[in-house]
Chains A and B, each alone.
Chain A
């Protein structure tokens, strides 16, 4: 296992779904500008599952928002399948950390809405939404409102809502963050199952290194902010299909974890040191 600042080979195969080139992102703050992310390069291959790990406040989500087109970088550019982004990334689906489903719509209406706004007839949209609800294990909950579902069920609705549009790129911002450990593993396996079908490009942000290794093809490490940048890029050579829970018992998992954690720990300590200072 070698640390490398170059994107791994897999990132080039089939062209890049998302490519960040010299991306810096700044926010105006009282008395100046806060540079969240500094001159970052990152490429995600068309069928690649990439996880970004870093200490709290390192700008992981900022990078994801730039890839989604929700944020415009101060310098540098974001390319989606070779085209420079202007506005939202239409090829991307985004699963948010917080609850993002519409509370005034039932589960099935929430899932169907992505098709409806794209002009699909309501009846067909509902049929397809029902199929997706079944895929995420919520067939019996179609008429429930979000507040009548558990946190894990709401995430499933969110996942179906994003995937029904069949985005080429899936951006996920600590999607399972608020869930308990067991539910996270179940959701991880659900995600892997769904992903195995068509292998979209995935950019998965998490603070949980184990989760990152269990799911991804590549784990990218970010340094502590401000002026966060990518400091490590590790290929994960665990076989697929994987079980997000069982893979953690393999010796190779432990080797990878040990190698990456060594690097991540320094940054985590820096982040805490920075907060204490």
Chain B
């Protein structure tokens, strides 16, 4: 590692140390008799770390320290924070929703993107409606999905799909439209049929556009899942955070947030690996982060 690399690493570590130190001091050392970051609202880094450790160690997923099981005898009887699922189950739940949302949203986006890109008239017909749907903040759809699909996994998947679909759709559409006319003419002159043009020209071009937005679309799939869980669910990271919040368990909220951030980082790293593998033919564009 170069000298600059070491310096960078040290500087990055310092940011983390400083942030945690300010948080710890503000929440546990009274300055002039006042806590700058009251524990009730901010918890403390130590508590949050212990909670995360405990969550993964005993796997009980107990975020709320309740004396006895909370019986919710509502119509749907969904929440039982004391005897809930393990943190791994929550993670698996969220991951499953995210993956399903991505796969379904991407498949629909690819299909419709190709279809409309090759049919200018239909594309013009649907254009205002697609723009309108895309302009709609997707969170408002969550209640209607709950109503239609229940509180299980599918209402969250549906929410994620509405987010992923539009990103993939617009990219595939653009990818098909933006094929270089020279490359297209050349492929035709090389004797390609329409089907072969699809396989060797349109598809790779559309995929390159889709993969260039992979970070965004995968991120949105997870957002859809977590927001859906937050609004009504019996499992998942969003549910975990929502439950903690509902009992003013700030430590639990922060623990959930940090687990969620780490989870998304791991997925993002996986996406980078996939992207590097699939877009190897691309010239390194100026201004990309890596």
Compute how far the CA of A98 lies from the CA of B204 in the bound complex, rounded to whole angstroms.
20
Q: How far is the CB of B187 from chain A (nearest CB, A)?
A: 7
Given known A-B contacts A96-B182, A102-B183, A113-B200, A147 and B189 have beta carbons under 8 A apart: no
A158 vs B186: C-alpha distance in the bound complex, in angstroms? 9
| B119 in contact (CB, < 8 A) | no
**What range describes how many residues of B lie at the interface?**
20 to 34
Q: CB-CB < 8 A to A271: which residues of B?
A: none
Binds A, one of B62-70, B191-199, B232-240, B267-275: B191-199
Check B281 against A100 for contact (C-beta < 8 Å): no
Alpha-carbon gap, A183 to B233, bound state (A): 67
Confirm or deny: B208 has a beta carbon within 8 angstroms of a beta carbon on chain A: yes
The A/B interface has a contact count, at CB < 8 Å, of 67
Tell me if B191 and A100 are in contact (CB < 8 A): no
B189 near A94 (CB under 8 angstroms)? yes
Q: Categorize the interface residue count of chain A.
A: 20 to 34
B120 contacts partner chain A, Cβ-Cβ < 8 Å? no
The answer, yes or no, to whether A118 is at the interface (CB within 8 Å) is yes
Query: Are A104 and B281 in contact (CB-based, < 8 A)?
Result: yes
Give the shortest distance, in Å, between B189 (CB) and chain A (any CB). 4
Q: Please tell me which stretch of A27-35, A85-93, A233-241, A250-258 contacts chain B, meaning at least 4 of its Cβ atoms lie within 8 angstroms of it.
A: A85-93
* Chain A residues closer than 8 Å to B200, beta-carbon distance: 102, 105, 113, 117
Q: How does the 8 Å CB contact mask read for A96-125 relative to B, with 1 for contact and 0 for none?
A: 101111111110000001100110000000
B189 and A92 form a contact (CB under 8 A): yes
CA distance A118 to B191 in the complex (A): 7
Contacts A96-B182, A104-B208 given; does A88 touch B281 at CB 8 Å: no
Residues of B near A141 (CB, < 8 A) are none
| A-contact 0/1 string along B157-185, CB 8 Å cutoff | 00000000000000000000000101101
Q: Which among B186, B189, B208, B280 has the highest number of chain A CB atoms within 10 Å?
A: B189
Expressed in whole angstroms, the Cα–Cα distance for A100 and B185 within the complex equals 8
Interface residue? A196 (CB, 8 A): no
Contacting pair B191 A90 (CB below 8 A): yes
Chain B residues with CB under 8 A of A114: 190-191
| B187 engages A102 (CB within 8 Å) | yes
Q: Which 4 A-B pairs have the closest CB atoms?
A: A100-B186, A147-B283, A104-B204, A145-B281
